[in-house]
Amino acid sequence: MKFELWVIGKTTPQWIEEGINEFTKRLKLLQPVDFVLFNDVKNAKSLPVNILKQKEGEMILQKMANEDYLILCDDKGKQFSSKQFSVWLEKLTNLSKKRIIVLIGGAYGFSDEIYSRANEQISFSKMTFSHQLIRIIVIEQIYRGFSILKNLPYHHG
């Protein structure tokens, strides 16, 4: 099984990238998660929001295979405690899917097409975090989840 975290737009500033690298490195020993970065849509800033989301959605769907299991990070998705999240991660790895994709949207969220394609939606908070900061939050929580499953002393429940 491949486990991938997909994000849209260059990671910036530098400290965000360092945060992602820290947890991606730690995860390697537990459950490797590939960080896959999609370039921003051309002229993103001058496009109306709906068009931008649609173009981002098309870019994502083009890179997906039918068998991929797609999970969206969305503040309206299912909420978990970290312990519950670790149980959910375990179920996920037992789905025997070839590839599991956790997708973090751009600054404005997802197109309708992406919502329709998604297999699940998960939420890390009722709050909205910047689409850059959420990258660290997601990868830290995946690390925390697998460290709970492996009984590592990272999580103080």
Residues forming contacts to a copy of itself in the complex (CB under 8 A) are 13-16, 18-19, 22, 49, 75, 79-82, 85, 107-109, 124-130, 133, 136-137, 140-141, 144, 155-157
Yes or no: say if 74 and 109 are a contact pair by the CB < 8 Å rule.
yes
Cα(12)–Cα(10) distance, integer angstroms: 6
- When the beta carbons of 13 and 65 are compared against a copy of itself, the nearer one is 13
Reported as type and span, the H/E element at residue 79 is: strand 69-79
The SS3 call for residue 42 is: coil
Cα(72)–Cα(25) distance, integer angstroms: 23
- When the beta carbons of 128 and 151 are compared against a copy of itself, the nearer one is 128
Reported as type and span, the H/E element at residue 3 is: strand 2-8
Cα(144)–Cα(141) distance, integer angstroms: 5
- When the beta carbons of 13 and 48 are compared against a copy of itself, the nearer one is 13
- When the beta carbons of 3 and 23 are compared against a copy of itself, the nearer one is 23
- When the beta carbons of 39 and 125 are compared against a copy of itself, the nearer one is 125
Q: How far is the CB of 15 from a copy of itself (least distance, A)?
A: 4
Cα(123)–Cα(121) distance, integer angstroms: 7
Q: How far is the CB of 156 from a copy of itself (least distance, A)?
A: 5
